[in-house]
């Protein structure tokens, strides 16, 4: 069976990540998580592509560059509840759709994407707009 990496290839993963952040940048459905990100999403397009390359069964580009694939720590400064998690997953679903992902690929990724997004979720409530440098109470 092919891995998602084999199905998408490097260009496909890049296209998916570009679409993902372009959707986040413009869709009102993703406004809460858009506000958590830096103004320039360019660097994130590259980082997510590097991460997903390894996560999808390709070469461990992100691990080689940053020394870890743990996503808990880089997300710790952000308030990620169910709303934020679902907005992230919604952007990814839209991006898969927009880039013409096959039904096979979407099915293959469905559960693992839900799992990793749930693992990154770091609270039960969904406060909004808090990012680094903002003091959160509770």
Under the criterion CB under 6 A, does residue 108 sit at the interface with ligand HEM? no
Q: Which CB sits closer to ligand HEM, 33 or 95?
A: 33
Under the criterion CB under 6 A, does residue 130 sit at the interface with ligand HEM? no
Rounded to whole angstroms, the Cα distance separating 96 from 102 reads: 8
DSSP 29: G
Least Cβ distance, residue 44 to ligand HEM (angstroms): 5
Rounded to whole angstroms, the Cα distance separating 32 from 127 reads: 9
Under the criterion CB under 6 A, does residue 129 sit at the interface with ligand HEM? no
Q: Which CB sits closer to ligand HEM, 54 or 98?
A: 54
Cβ-count burial of 43 within 10 angstroms (0-12 exposed, 13-18 middle, 19+ buried)?
A: exposed
Near ligand HEM in 20-79, by CB under 6 A: 33, 36-38, 44, 47-48, 51, 66, 71, 74-75, 78
Helices within the chain (DSSP H only): 4-26, 31-36, 42-55, 61-66, 72-75, 82-98, 103-120
- CB contact at 8 A, 106 and 96: yes
Least Cβ distance, residue 15 to ligand HEM (angstroms): 16
Least Cβ distance, residue 65 to ligand HEM (angstroms): 9
Q: Which CB sits closer to ligand HEM, 14 or 85?
A: 85
Under the criterion CB under 6 A, does residue 120 sit at the interface with ligand HEM? yes
């Amino acid at each position: 069976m092919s891995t998602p990496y084999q199905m998408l290839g490097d260009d496909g993963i890049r296209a998916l990540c570009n679409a993902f952040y372009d959707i986040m940048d413009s869709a009102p459905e993703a406004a809460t998580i858009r506000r958590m990100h830096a103004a320039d999403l360019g660097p994130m397009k590259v980082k997510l592509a590097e991460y997903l390359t390894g996560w999808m069964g390709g070469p461990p580009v992100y691990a080689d560059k940053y020394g870890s694939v743990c996503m808990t720590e880089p997300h710790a400064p952000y308030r990620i509840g169910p709303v934020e998690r679902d907005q992230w997953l919604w952007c990814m679903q839209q991006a898969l759709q927009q880039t013409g992902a096959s039904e096979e690929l979407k099915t293959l990724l469905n559960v693992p994407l839900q799992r990793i997004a749930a693992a990154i979720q770091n609270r039960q409530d969904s406060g909004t707009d808090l990012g680094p440098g903002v003091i959160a109470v509770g």
